[in-house]
Amino acid sequence: MTPTDTAAITARERLRDVLDDRMAVHRAALETLVRIPSVSAAGFDPVEVRRSAEAVRDLLESRGLRNARVLEVAADGPGDVAHPAVYADWLDAGPDAPTVLLYAHHDVQPPGADEGWSSPPFTPTERDGRLYGRGAADDKAGVIVHVAAVDAWLEAQGRLPVNVKVIIEGEEEIGSAHLGALLDGYADLLRADVIVITDSANWKIGTPSLTYLLRGLADCDVEVRGLDHSLHSGMYGGPVPDPLTGMVKLLAGLTDDTGAVAVPGLADDVRSVTEAERARLDALGFDEAAFRAEAGLLDGVVLGGDQEVHPLERLWMRPNLTIIGLDAPAVATSSNTLVASARARVSLRLAPGQDPVRARDLLCGHLESAAPWGLHVQVTPGAAVGAFVADPRGPAFEAALRALGDAYGQPAVLMGVGGSIPFIEPFAQAFAGPDGSPAPALLTGVEDPDTRAHGTDESLHLGDWRNACLAEAYLLAELADSL
Ligand SMILES: [Zn+2]
């Protein structure tokens, strides 16, 4: 072992020791953020998202980052709400050191039904080594991973090995509704050589993972109207059609008998899986029983989609459609009534390479034309975001695999995730190198198969969270050495 190796090992040990000393402080900061109900969805108070942005700004500033500020994002017009992001940086590593952009988001999904939670969603609560709460994992733990990595370096060394910019978005959970404005307004401010996104998952607890594939997203709202007021179902039902039944028929036609998307033409631009991708899927060793258990699938419920296709391919590389909202009378307060109208929100996950605007247009067009009985249909298009696919090779990816493996003490695996993070693709493209190739986007995360992100009883595995913080501290050194 050369003296330089010994010095590097000692520096790493020091980084690890400082981090471990500081985890209680980071834990307290995480709990403070979780207590702010920063739900970005329409219908929730936007003041909370702003309060969350300000809390994140203060946190970044208090941990040694500079130029911390709330970034206002331009709204689309009067009545439109754009939730603020947060920025901070530390740029004293010198012009020869790479610049790394650290991304996470501070907004959260709505909590869902209170009964689904074993403890209140915005009261962080520890049980069996996990911290429960909305945003405890997705993605406030990701915010703190960045904070903890920077903090470990500044406490241990008084400096960072790379230039760092931090962007904490406030609208990720609503499909980054004003991403164009964020890109137009701040691409120069955020410019970097590599992006580290801490908003994904690990394959298993204790198995660090780098996500190289995410599905895209398209959605819309659909309203079906048949009457100008509701009617007694006995006095009118029969000749007068039921708009809610019409809605159910319309929605049922969006998938085939296996549950695969049946919107005409929608799957036409799904590309086939490459050999390298197939090899990566096979290397993960999919365990159907474990998958069913994680999902909480009841006995006898069959997995959806084309049974001939690998389940992970169906999960990561095929489109899928979900009805995520339905406005109809509640059973408890229902009466014998034909309702005048019904409303639904339909969400598509898109395969790598699918054109999101095309997919959204096909979905909207189909809904407009396929309602039975001449019912009136009004469709409001929503998000349209392409999938993210990285070629996980080259120095930045190798640096990330090494850092993850060293921090967790287990080799890192390459995986896909069926969800979407709209930020990545446009910013990786905007920071393309001189040869036109996108900036490497390293997608790590703190979720695991038991996290239930977006669901009730969302939780964070505290052991993996500590390892994720350490991995990012190591990653900054690996990137400094290899870029
Ligand atoms: Zn997230």
* Distance of CA 141 from the midpoint of ligand 1 (Å): 10
List, for residues 217-273, the tens digit of each pLDDT value.
999 999 999 999 999 999 999 999 999 999 999 999 999 999 999 999 999 999 999
Rounded to the nearest whole angstrom, what is the distance from the C-alpha of residue 172 to the centroid of ligand 1? 7
Active-site hit among 172, 448, 457, 472: 172
Q: Does domain 3-214+387-482 fall into CATH 3.40.630.10? A: yes
Q: pLDDT digit string (tens) for 14-33?
A: 999 999 999 999 999 999 99
User: Does pLDDT of 79 surpass 90?
Assistant: no
pLDDT of residue 7: 75
pTM recorded for the entire structure: 0.88
pLDDT tens digits along 369-393: 999 999 999 999 998 989 999 889 9
Q: Average per-residue pLDDT in the chain?
A: 95
Summarize pLDDT for 280-316 with one digit per residue, the tens: 999 998 999 999 998 999 999 999 999 999 999 999 9
What are all long-range contacts of 463-466, with beta carbons under 8 Å and residues at least 24 apart? Answer: 463/129, 463/205, 463/206, 464/202, 464/205, 464/206, 464/408, 465/131, 465/141, 465/144, 465/145, 466/19, 466/20, 466/23
Q: How far is the CA of 421 from the centre of ligand 1 (A)?
A: 7
Domain ranges of the chain: 3-214+387-482, 216-270+319-385
Whether residue 226 contacts residue 376, with contact meaning beta carbons closer than 8 Å, is answered with yes
Whether 478 is a known active-site residue: answer: no
Q: Is 172 a catalytic residue?
A: yes
Q: Given 48, 107, 139, 313, which residue is catalytic? A: 107
What per-residue confidence (pLDDT) applies to 3? 62
pLDDT higher than 80, residue 5: no
- Sequence-separated (6 or more) residues with CB below 8 Å from residue 300: none
Report CA(453)–ligand 1 centroid distance (Å).
8
CA of 75 to the centre of ligand 1 (A): 22
**389-416 confidence digits (pLDDT tens):** 988 999 999 999 999 999 999 999 999 9
CATH code assigned to 216-270+319-385: 3.30.70.360
Single-letter code of the amino acid located at 50: R
Please list the residues that pair with 350 across neighbouring strands.
216
How sure is the predictor about 179, in pLDDT bands with cuts at 50, 70 and 90? confident
pLDDT tens digit string along 82-139?
A: 999 999 999 999 999 999 999 999 999 999 988 999 999 999 999 999 999 999 999 9
Q: What percent of the chain has pLDDT over 70?
A: 99
CA of 423 to the centre of ligand 1 (A): 11
CA distance 226 to 217: 30
- Distance between CA 336 and CA 321 in Å, rounded? 31
